[in-house]
């Protein structure tokens, strides 16, 4: 007699995995869960653990999650993730969400991560947003040059 397949993990199961298992193992479980459960799990996990797990996910999945968690949580996670992965996620984020999240990322972390984002994506962000956050940065680094 065949046995029934195991029930998919609940959000509580996923949260326990994120907190207790190595990030690559928890990431595999998150990646196989329904996206709504993955988002809720990341939202409710500690920032350090969430950042470590999200960094292990495919960039498209990580971006999907970051676009859906709260702005504060997204900023905290992006600020704690490895610079290169955070830059790749920021590159794929919607411009609206990116503009909301940027103020939540600490200034030093933001500078490091923006260096990983394409100039084209940076130019999509309202210049005023970047000027307010990076007021000490040279303006030519923040605004697209318009040749005469």
Q: What is the pLDDT of residues 126-147, one digit of tens each?
A: 988 888 888 766 555 555 556 6
Q: What is the pLDDT of residues 40-56, one digit of tens each?
A: 999 999 999 999 999 99
Per the CB < 8 A criterion, the answer to whether 3 and 11 are in contact is: no
Rounded-to-integer distance, Cα 91 and Cα 26, Å: 24
Instruction: Please give the helix or strand (H or E) that residue 67 lies within, else none.
Output: helix 59-68
Q: What is the pLDDT of residues 63-103, one digit of tens each?
A: 999 999 999 999 999 999 999 999 999 999 999 999 999 99
CB atoms within 10 A of CB 15: 22
Instruction: Please give the helix or strand (H or E) that residue 143 lies within, else none.
Output: none
């Amino acid at each position: 007699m065949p046995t029934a397949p195991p029930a998919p993990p609940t959000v509580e199961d996923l949260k326990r995995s994120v907190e207790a298992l190595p990030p690559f193992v928890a990431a595999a479980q998150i990646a196989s869960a329904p996206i709504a459960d993955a988002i809720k799990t990341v939202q409710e996990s500690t920032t350090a653990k969430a950042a470590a797990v999200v960094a292990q996910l495919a960039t498209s999945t990580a971006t999907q999650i970051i676009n859906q968690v709260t702005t504060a949580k997204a900023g905290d996670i992006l600020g704690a993730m490895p610079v290169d992965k955070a830059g790749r996620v920021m590159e794929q984020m919607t411009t609206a969400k990116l503009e909301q999240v940027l103020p939540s990322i600490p200034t030093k972390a933001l500078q490091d991560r923006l260096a990983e984002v394409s100039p084209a994506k940076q130019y999509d962000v309202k210049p005023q947003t970047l000027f307010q956050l990076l007021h000490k940065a040279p303006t030519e680094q923040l605004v697209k040059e318009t040749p005469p």
